[in-house]
A and B are shown apart, each in its own frame.
Chain A
């Protein structure tokens, strides 16, 4: 089953084209890493799925339902705000800068949306939150505020917060780029755990070794286009694309 399908997506920031006719899809249980140089449009692509960025052309389907249609496709679909929101709820998002709520404790951060959005009871939400906290190894931080956590801990809480809504798809937008090098490992371990469960995930990352290890498929983007995609062995060991070869040459 196709979880997300993006068809012919174009996006501009003023005159700068950041996404040029992108076609992308991910099937259930697939782990896809998106790599590429800064400014290649890989974060923007991910943010479009969550409607954090608007597109100028193309459609985005989540689990077979079109939730965004713009440009030449705009008149072919009528999409209500509620349908868009339901689409968003199918995807959990983890940000580069964590974006935890600083005025809420770790537990309150996690139970907020389940209670407010999914209308779970507090007991249910707390029970689930504690399981998730245990899973990311931070149950003992249950009642502290985010400012008392390290970057790696914050990101693990952010992952738990996204998981609390039981999303079908997890999106990671450079989840380790704001972290000190020694804290990267603990976050990657949590993500790897999720990958091993065969969760559907898209990971935008600069961690090449990690992408190679966990992904079923690697997508290489540059200047707003997908230049090459395929299994990690192929992409990292034997890329066809010249631009990909130079990119790998620079970082490995």
Chain B
């Protein structure tokens, strides 16, 4: 039992990295998604192409490869970052790309009658987007958004590959040191608890938006 408590403490030290990476990624990638989605449906062709290229590139290559590239590759070119900065940078860009496409789908699913009504009432395009379209789109994207939020919990484990001492890496160290796999079980329990909280939070938000159909 002492052994379990001891290694639990060590593994949980890694949760600082896991949790802060998670929170930073969510905070920055969702606004990127909303702004990118608006850009992608705008009438500026060049902007649309730039955003399409961004989502094509970031969704079309492995996240782990992107991590290696940002941490080791960019370093060679003089963009030196700590491994945690590199992880945040990569995760925000990668998840931002997915969120762009999710929000674009949500915004485009809003009936064109909503735009027409807003136009006839004299609302500007910006007012139409911020007051009429995006609030409705947010409700529609909550299910795919919560999927991504759950995937992100587990994707954070990839940072172990660029030497960050997160929950997964600490667990692996314990197993290699002690030849005892119970550390893996503890890590699994941590991730399960984490995703449970995420699911609970998203259910709360969905209920909050359940006030209209």
Contacts and interface: CB of A to CB of B under 8 A. Distances in A.
A145 interface: yes
Interface string B100-121: 0000000000010110110111
B211 A50 contact: no
B121 A113 contact: yes
Interface string A99-113: 111110000000011
B117 A99 contact: yes
A145 B120 contact: no
B132 interface: yes
B179 interface: no
A93 interface: yes
Nearest to A145: B212
Interface residues of B, number: 20
Contacts of B122: 85, 88-89, 113, 117-118, 165
B213 A145 contact: yes
A60 interface: no
Nearest to A158: B117
Contacts of A117: 121-123, 127
A147 interface: yes
A165 B121 contact: yes
A101 B117 contact: yes
B136 interface: yes
A42 B168 CA distance: 66
Given A92-B120, A161-B121, 19 more contacts: A50-B119, A52-B120, A88-B122, A89-B122, A93-B116, A95-B116, A97-B113, A99-B113, A99-B116, A100-B117, A101-B114, A101-B117, A102-B212, A102-B213, A103-B135, A103-B212, A112-B131, A117-B123, A162-B120
Interface of B: 111, 113-114, 116-117, 119-124, 127, 131-132, 135-136, 139, 211-213
